[in-house]
Homo-oligomer: A and B are copies of this chain.
Amino acid sequence: MSLRLGTPRQKEEKAEVDVLIIGAGPAAFGAALYSARYKMSVLVVGEFLGGQLNNTSEIENYLGFERISASELIGRFRKHVESYGVKIIQDRISEVKRDGEGFLATTKRGMKIRSKAVIIAIGLKRRTLGVPGEKEFVGRGVSYCSICDAALFKDADAVAVVGGGDSAMEGATLLSSYAKKVFLIHRRSEFRAQPILVEEVKSKPNIELVLDTVVTEILGDKSVTGIRVKNLKTGEERVIPVKGVFLEIGFEPDLPFIQNLGLETDDYGFIKVHGYMETNVKGIFAAGDCTDLWKAFRQIITAAAQGSVAAHGAYGYVEELKLKDKKTPSSP
């Protein structure tokens, strides 16, 4: 299946639609299908066709398909949505602003889209620490994926894993069989990971727990040489020499493009939704992994369902606007 998408023909292209759907994963497809069935004009703008589905190969948990490849399922979703004439544009929304009663979005390639409602279905991106040295040493000692990169640290004297969830535990355990020593850095004194995974970590003699501690800097020259850490209880700072730092600190939605609208998020940065996937900003709806609904259970079927519900919510909003426009006599 080709992943090629429609692209804007020229920099200054403009569009005006009832609903702009941001994202191109299952939530966006669910939203697009129902938006079109509600006879709204709709445009889908997303960077990655299929979203998170691209990180899987075979899918066995989407009800109705015993087993289907991710690319085939993406293809079916796309075909279903396109059968209603919905356009999918591969681009990134760089900003969304208020524009009268609706919104004005700008894409990275310069396209301008006016819409009455917006459905955010952007999924998640890996969370970063945001400390000095992090960006500089990505791929040179800093990694966000223990499973991908552990083998690169075979026989290293020491590595650090940062985090307190399941993936941090799994990462530390895996790395303990490659590196001679693993420091597991966590900002709290308790792990939120499953007890069985914590027990496994504690059973490894070469994993040292460094609790109540945050990383304040990643040090290095050509590649990582160590991390500066600070104990939150004592205030004490020290440097731990390591060759690698694995940041297993979870995911969050990438929201700067829309934060100027005062979009409300929870403590972890997920978009707060209520009712029919409404956000706190009138006219903006959200669906899928980026929302705070069922956050610990991010599945294709739940994303698609949330998208469909967001379309229902957006339909109600757009109908209300249209009714209001009819009642207000236009100014002379």
Which residues on A are within 8 Å of B, measured CB to CB?
26, 29-30, 33-34, 37, 60-66, 73, 76-77, 79-80, 83, 276, 294, 296-297, 299, 301-302, 304-306, 308-309, 312
Contact = CB atoms under 8 A, between A and B. Distances in A.
Contacts of A312: 294, 296-297
B79 A61 contact: no
A60 B80 CA distance: 9
Nearest to A308: B301
A63 B304 contact: yes
Contact of A304 (B296, B301, B306): B301
A308 B304 contact: no
B294 A301 contact: no
A302 B308 contact: yes
B83 A61 contact: no
A208 to B, nearest CB: 28
Contacts of A294: 276, 309, 312
Contact of A64 (B60, B76, B276): B76
A306 B37 CA distance: 22
A62 B309 CA distance: 13
17 contacts: A30-B63, A30-B301, A33-B61, A33-B63, A34-B61, A63-B80, A64-B64, A65-B76, A65-B80, A66-B79, A66-B80, A276-B294, A296-B312, A297-B312, A301-B304, A301-B305, A302-B308
A65 B302 CA distance: 17
Nearest to A60: B37
Contacts of A296: 276, 312
Closest 6 CB pairs of A and B: A305-B305, A297-B312, A302-B305, A64-B76, A301-B305, A63-B304
Given A29-B63, A299-B305, A305-B305, 10 more contacts: A33-B63, A37-B60, A61-B308, A62-B64, A66-B79, A66-B80, A297-B308, A297-B312, A301-B308, A302-B305
A312 B83 CA distance: 33
Contacts of A60: 37
A30 to B, nearest CB: 5
A274 to B, nearest CB: 11
A318 to B, nearest CB: 15
A302 B30 CA distance: 10
Given A30-B301, A301-B304, A63 B83 contact: no
Contacts of A299: 305, 308
A188 to B, nearest CB: 21
A282 to B, nearest CB: 19
Contacts of A297: 276, 308-309, 312
Given A62-B64, A64-B62, A309 B302 contact: yes
Nearest to A319: B194
Contact of A65 (B34, B61, B64): B64
Nearest to A34: B61
A66 B81 CA distance: 8
A43 to B, nearest CB: 18
A272 to B, nearest CB: 15
